[in-house]
Amino acid sequence: MRPGTRLRLVLRDLGSGSAFASMAVSGQLPTWTLALYGVALVCALAGRRLFATRAKLTALLLLAVAGVLGMNVLAGSVNLVVAACAFAGLIAAHRLLSAPDPATDGQVQLSGLLMVAGGAALSGEIIYGLFLVAFGVLSSLSLALGVVEAAVPEGEPVPVRQVMRPLAVGVGFAVAGAVAFFILFPRLNWNMMGPRVSPGLGAATTGFSNTVRLGGAGTIKGNPRIVLRASLSPDPGNALLDAYWVGRTYDIFDGQEWTSVSGVRSASQRVVTLRPGGESLVHQRVELLPAYGGRTLVALETPSKLGNAVANTPMGSRRVALQELGGGEVRFQEPSLGYTYEAYSLPPGGSGHEFRDLPSDEQDALLTLPEGLDVRVGQTAARVLNGEREPLAAARKLADWLQQGHAYTLELSGDVADPLADFLFERKAGHCEHFATALTLMLRTQGIRARLATGFFGGERVDGSYIVRAGDAHAWTHVLVPGRGFVTVDATPPAHRASQSSQVLQQLLSFYEALEARWRSAIVDYSFRDQMDVARSLVRPPRKRGDPDAPPSRMPPLRAWGAALLAGLGAYAAWRLLSRFLERERPHEATRFVDAVEAQLASARIDRREDESLEELDARLTREHHPLSPALVPVTRRYLEARFGGRPLRQGEAEQLLGTLKRAIAAEARRTAAESREPRARAS
């Protein structure tokens, strides 16, 4: 292998890997295709072309894979587009392991092209953009090295260093050109698609299920992935939001897990009203990101109305219906990777529920205790309350007692027979579900109605909206207070309510999320309206700095001058090119005439010598008594008059003169042919 070839192959393989990764980041490719391609790429980078000697035989493997994918598509387990993308990846893998020749190189590059196109269809992540650029750069370098290598004689090294510099400049211009094209090319399609989503990094984290089971490790608290983004109106403006985002509530505890008593409460509808609203409702525009992974709507406590939901799928956005379930849960009716919706919530202070308005089964459930509840729970609650009967005060008293005497921990091992007694009296440590369960049941033992609520706590302000992480998942207690309804009391120590992931990890993820948000707004959601805004911004007069209320300047902005200058330079360059074309020296009419004469003379085997003018040729032929000389003399004289004597050729005169010359040449040719047919003696 000559120097440079190895580098070219590595660049080619890495380019193919980038193209495959642009699809893989969507998280939709089957795992086995990821594994197969990964193995093939590693082998190829290590220089092991396993299929080099069995290209046709191993191509049968592709047929088998195509069959498997086809069956998956027919069974409905794999989308057709996803299957096509996966198959393109496997073709690329096969080509990577084949013998590297020009045909294989071309197939690898083209399969890479198909894969980045497939990635565009599957993924809207910013990582796709990075892999797209990586593919463009790596494949261009590989192609260019291949082109040069093919031209370099065998045995000589490929001039790698010399190739890189001009090509890097070229690729830089190509990327800039792609951006310019993207910004300026009119969007001819009016299908305004919403955010296109994919699960992204790792598996989605749902915080909700039909039951809440005590015990086990609370790993979700350390997960920094962002599951929810919301903009609030009125905007509280705080950097950290001290609020509860409720998803659903539970009212039956069987000693191990929480459940809800009622099932489906309403048919599917576009807007769900949970309770009457007021004048001071907090409006939320919520986006559930693919990392959320659930179908339960989340809203600030206490939600009043939820609706206008849109499901964001890889193939576009569509409206989706909602359904109310027991426990105050509202669910999307269709599964999707992400959702956007609107919610209105009452300000904190109570849900406004009257006990008698609750369904009878819920009324009963609010005081239900599990069978076999440790008697120490009730005794302890009574001792702590010491006669306190007011629900909210009692709840706060118990919460204080729990926070003082019990530690917060996520390190819990396995299930125990009575997790509540274990938390309260043995281990005296647990996570939010333990604290919330203990408070709820201790209140119930004293005849105070309460239930468990789950959702998220907190919110971090990023770019004017609030983000909530998977680690913000939380559980707390709703205490039914007469006249106010359900009021939130949180027994979990305040320091442990929000996400507990590493600060560095959170910052890194926040940075990524910020980039992702920019990518989404600037690239994925870029629309014809944005194009118009870009065009308008070029000519919109600037406002005076420091005074937003001041009237805009009458002068166009600097960028408008810049755009005008660029347009002017472009017009000038076009004019220069055009004028150069129009003003180019055109041959004189007499010159065209003499060219035609020369062509006719050439056909009669009379060639002008180097630097011999037509006049000199005419003189020479006259001296030699050439048979064509009489016909050439008037032609030459007329040419000289037309070219230098100020007597241009009349209309049709050139054709007439040329016709005369042509006839003379033809006559001379006939005479010569007749002479050649006559027999002649040959000297021996």
Partner 1 sequence: MKPRRKQGWARLRALLRPPRTLKVTRIGRTYLVVTFGVGLGALNTGNNLLYLLLGLLLSMVVVSGVLSERCLRDLSVRRVGADAAWAAEPFAFRWALRKKHGHGFALALSEADSPLTGVGGVGYLPAGVDHVVRADLMAPKRGPVLLTGVRITTTWPLGLFAKSRVFPLEGTLLVYPRRGYACQDPGEAERGPVGDAGNPRRNDGTGDVAGLRDLMEGEDARRIHWRKSAAMGKLLRVEREREERRTWVLAVEAGLEGDALERRCEEVAALAHRLIEEGHEVGLDTADGRLRPAAGTAQERRVLRALAWLGHEGPRSDADEEAA
Q: Is 526 in the site for partner 1 (CB under 8 A)?
A: yes
Q: For residue 591, what are its two tokens?
A: 């010159």
The region of 166-174, 382-390, 473-481, 498-506 touching partner 1 under the rule CB under 8 A is: 166-174
CB of 43 to partner 1, least distance (A): 24
Instruction: Report yes or no: 287 and 339 within 8 Å, Cβ to Cβ.
Output: yes
Which of residues 124, 199, 326, 458 is near partner 1 by CB under 8 A?
Answer: 124
| Site membership for partner 1, residue 106 (CB under 8 A) | yes
Query: Is residue 151 involved in binding partner 1 (CB under 8 A)?
Result: yes
Of 16, 140, 223, 313, the one binding partner 1 by CB under 8 A: 140
The smaller minimum CB distance to partner 1, of residues 119 and 207, is found at: 119
Which strand (E) or helix (H) includes residue 214?
none
Location of structure tokens 């996400």: 499
Take residue 615 and report the two structure tokens written for it: 């006049």
Contact track, partner 1, 170-189, x by CB under 8 A = xx-xxxxxxxxxx--x-xxx
Q: Which residues pair with 282 in a beta bridge?
A: 345
The dihedral over CA atoms of 262, 264, 266, 269, expressed in degrees to the nearest 10, equals: 140
Residues 43, 142 contacting (CB under 8 angstroms): no
Tokens encoding 205: 């984290």
Q: Does residue number 113 form part of the binding site for partner 1 (CB under 8 A)?
A: yes
Which residues in 196-215 contact partner 1 (CB under 8 A)? 196
CA distance to 132, 149, 235, per residue, from 346 (Å): 46, 71, 14
Torsion of CA 254, 260, 262, 266, to 10 degrees: -170
Least distance between partner 1 and beta carbon 582 (Å): 17
Q: Is 108 in the site for partner 1 (CB under 8 A)?
A: no
Instruction: Say whether residue 240 binds partner 1 (CB under 8 A).
Output: no
Q: Is 481 exposed, middle or buried (0-12, 13-18, 19+ CB in 10 A)?
A: buried
Q: Given CA atoms 112, 116, 119, 121 in this order, what sign does their dihedral have?
A: negative
The nearer residue to partner 1, 178 or 271, going by C-beta atoms, is 178
Residue 23 neighbours by CB under 8 Å, 6+ apart: 29, 85, 88, 89, 115, 116, 118, 119, 122, 123
**Closer to partner 1 by Cβ: residue 79 or 409:** 79
Choose, by CB under 8 A, the member of 23, 86, 144, 394 that binds partner 1: 144
Question: Strand, helix or coil at 451?
Answer: strand
Q: CB of residue 158 vs partner 1: minimum separation in angstroms?
A: 7
- Kindly list the distances between the CA atom of residue 535 and the CA atoms of 161, 365, 560, in Å, as whole numbers in the listed order: 41, 62, 10
The Cβ of residue 122 has, within 10 Å, a number of other Cβ atoms equal to 25
| Contact window for partner 1 (CB under 8 A) among 102-110, 287-295, 438-446, 546-554 | 102-110
Minimum distance between the CB of residue 23 and partner 1, rounded to whole angstroms?
12
Please tell me whether residue 311 binds partner 1 under the rule CB under 8 A. Answer: no
Question: Does 267 contact partner 1 by CB under 8 A?
Answer: no
Q: To the nearest whole angstrom, how small is the minimum distance from the Cβ of residue 243 to partner 1?
A: 34
Q: Which residues pair with 480 in a beta bridge?
A: 486
Least distance to partner 1 from the beta carbon of 300, Å?
32
- State how far the Cα of 616 lies from the Cα of 596, in Å rounded to an integer: 17
**Residue with Cβ nearer partner 1 (239 or 602):** 602
Instruction: Name the token pair of 410.
Output: 């996520």
Q: Is 136 in the site for partner 1 (CB under 8 A)?
A: yes
Residue 120 lies near partner 1 (rule: CB under 8 A):
yes
Q: By CB under 8 A, name the one of 24, 114, 467, 590 that touches partner 1.
A: 114
Among 27, 146, 419, 455, binds partner 1 (CB under 8 A): 146
Instruction: Give the pairing type, strands 244-250 and 450-457.
Output: antiparallel
Q: What are phi and psi of 442, to 5 degrees?
A: -65, -40
CB of 120 to partner 1, least distance (A): 4
Binding span for partner 1 by CB under 8 A among 61-69, 152-160, 248-256, 351-359: 152-160
The strand pair at 226-233 and 282-288 is best described as antiparallel
3-class DSSP state of 316:
strand
Binding mask 482-521 for partner 1 (x = CB under 8 A): ----------------------------------------
Q: Are 280 and 352 in contact (CB under 8 A)?
A: no
Q: Is 121 in the site for partner 1 (CB under 8 A)?
A: yes
Question: With binding defined as CB under 8 A, does residue 581 bind partner 1?
Answer: no
Q: Should residue 534 be labelled a site residue for partner 1 when binding is judged by CB under 8 A?
A: no
Which residues are CB-contacts of 671 (< 8 A; sequence separation ≥ 6)? 627
Nearest to 182 by CA among 567, 526, 518: 526
Q: Which residues contact residue 335 at a Cβ distance below 8 angstroms, ignoring those fewer than 6 apart?
A: 295
**Residues binding partner 1: number (CB under 8 A):** 62
Question: Is 158 a binder of partner 1 (CB under 8 A)?
Answer: yes
Q: With the C-alpha atoms ordered 50, 54, 55, 58, is the resulting torsion angle positive or negative?
A: negative
Interacting residue with partner 1 among 39, 147, 239, 534 (CB under 8 A): 147
Nearer Cβ to partner 1, position 186 or 276? 186
Contact status: 305 vs partner 1 (CB under 8 A): no
Site string for partner 1, 589-628 (x = CB under 8 A): --------------x-x-----------------------
Give me the numbers of helices (H) and strands (E) for the chain, helices first please: 19, 20
* Burial of 309: CB neighbours in 10 Å, binned 0-12, 13-18, 19+: buried
Which stretch in 45-53, 123-131, 492-500, 613-621 sits in contact with partner 1 by CB under 8 A? 123-131
Q: Could you list the residues that contact partner 1 (CB under 8 A)?
A: 106, 109-110, 113-114, 116-117, 119-121, 123-124, 128-129, 132, 136, 140, 143-144, 146-153, 156, 158-159, 162-163, 166-167, 170-171, 173-182, 185, 187-193, 196, 316, 523-526, 603, 605
